[in-house]
Structure 1
């Protein structure tokens, strides 16, 4: 981050100014001209919070993808299928046990094992062959989608979160003014705030794991020069299998989180695969902070587009990707 600021001081200042404007719009009392131009402040704040929490969900999915695709350069286009399979398995486990957290743990472990199998049976045999990896994983995702449709049909499922995550929380620092002149605090669903908190915790844990632990250093060294790492006595294949397990497990973990916030249905695998691709491309290959920044941009763009430009809202996401690729092809935090 420091290197990026030093090399791109102008853009860092622009980002800080935009962040300052957003914070002012959230916490300040809006003048009449802003209300006339943007509508009620409550709508703006809710849209912002929706974008923020959606970004948290996108980051949870994309964080696993950035480990496998961005960091290890393995093209796993079955990542969206892992998300959806984790959601279904987690749902069945939660329903059988009556405990949401059991579903969360089972989904993580089951999809982590699936990731190890995929690495051993597919990627280990096709190292360095991006085209074969792409075609095979597309085939895997198609087969997986059909199998999941056969088992769980086209029914839409949704998790019931723990009782203490139900309801809405009052945000004591964000208020709006009613037409009567009364100041009221904005309320927001507790579960969505919890999703954001979990995403932040996972992001910090991943960054510390990759940059402050011995295993994380082995992973980065193996990506750059696996022969030298193997010569030092490290089992490179075991290290890479661990990366796949973590990346896939995070997809299954996100499946339960996303299935609780939204729903589980056929087609969600493609949606979250595309979101992960865009997040990694925008943020930068193999960068956890880059994935966080990319998820934030995409989540906010998607929600503000739906709220203020419903006809062209979907275009904003791909417009961001096009601009980043044109200005900085390696991504915002790539090679910074």
Structure 2
């Protein structure tokens, strides 16, 4: 029984990390129809920027917002200067974002080196809660709480504010939204910046959990795409459910069937898509 409890807890905490990365990616997909293959780079850069801020200031709390905001600025520049000029050509989007992913990866290697680094968290989070023979790392609880707070904040904005109504309109039908006077270019810029911010925040939070190292961006990116595909494009609820599904399946798959861990993850994804091609909460049409 202890095994199942611990693995479930680990899967939920990993799913919380994936939610920070995939929620922004899902909104970018839904609003902008951009296949952003450099999204994992924002996760990686968030971790490296946090290490730099911590080396300069010694503050982990300061590293969280500073790193996320710095990567959000990079996302704004990429969207405004490069992606905006491409229009809606998927092939060009893929080529450009892959190019940026490779550039960011090489830049990170040149600046921070190739060693695996860990982000040291405050002592208040660096301990475990014991219940009987079970130990629950408090930092993983913090990850779950962070993802929950971000999810609630996003839900409140999207479901209860005028800005959220504009975003929902752009997700449902961007062309119709433009026809009724919504400036979808500003919406797209805001969503892209938010996606970069959340991915970088995930990189800072995840840096103490899985480390920061070259290649992490391309390891985490397929999992975030799996979340988006399972949950449905542009659906916040889909990002929540998809993150939990992927986190739990990935964790249990590696624990129970390490030789076929990728099969245990992507086979259910293929099955879901066979039944519902738009994902669990994606809209038809």
Normalised by the shorter chain, which TM-score bucket?
A: over 0.9
Please state how far the C-alpha of 1:186 moved relative to its aligned partner. Answer: 2.2
CA contact (8 A) 1:71 1:287 kept: no
Unaligned stretches of 5+ residues in structure 1:
1-40, 172-183
2:135 corresponds to? 187
CA contact (8 A) 1:70 1:280 kept: no
Tell which deviates more after alignment, 57-66 or 312-321: 312-321
CA contact (8 A) 1:149 1:266 kept: yes
- Partner-residue secondary structure (3-state), 1:115: helix
Please state how far the C-alpha of 1:127 moved relative to its aligned partner. Answer: 2.2
1:320 corresponds to? 268
1:144 maps to 2:92: no
1:124 corresponds to? 84
1:51 corresponds to? 11
- Partner-residue secondary structure (3-state), 1:312: helix
* CA 314–222 in structure 1, closer or farther in 2 if over 3 Å, else same: closer
Please state how far the C-alpha of 1:128 moved relative to its aligned partner. Answer: 1.5
1:302 corresponds to? 250
Q: Runs of 4+ in structure 1 displaced over 6 angstroms?
A: none
1:213 maps to 2:173: no
Q: How is 1:29-108 mapped onto 2 (pairs within 5 angstroms)?
A: 41-108=1-68
Please state how far the C-alpha of 1:95 moved relative to its aligned partner. Answer: 2.0
Q: How is 1:150-189 mapped onto 2 (pairs within 5 angstroms)?
A: 150-171=110-131, 184=132, 186-189=134-137
1:26 corresponds to? none
When normalised by structure 1's length, the TM-score is: 0.81
The structure whose Rg is larger is 1
| Pick aligned residue for 2:146 from 198, 206, 209 | 198
Please state how far the C-alpha of 1:220 moved relative to its aligned partner. Answer: 2.3
In 2: Cα distance, 1:71 partner to 1:52 partner: 27
Q: What is the CA RMSD across the aligned residues, in angstroms?
A: 1.6
CA contact (8 A) 1:68 1:243 kept: yes
- Partner-residue secondary structure (3-state), 1:187: strand
CA contact (8 A) 2:12 2:247 kept: yes
Please state how far the C-alpha of 1:204 moved relative to its aligned partner. Answer: 1.4
* CA 70–238 in structure 1, closer or farther in 2 if over 3 Å, else same: closer
How many corresponding residue pairs?
284
In 2: Cα distance, 1:222 partner to 1:321 partner: 26
In 2: Cα distance, 1:262 partner to 1:112 partner: 22
CA contact (8 A) 2:31 2:188 kept: no
In 1: Cα distance, 2:29 partner to 2:178 partner: 21
In 1: Cα distance, 2:174 partner to 2:233 partner: 18
* CA 255–185 in structure 1, closer or farther in 2 if over 3 Å, else same: same
In 2: Cα distance, 1:261 partner to 1:227 partner: 41
In 2: Cα distance, 1:285 partner to 1:115 partner: 20
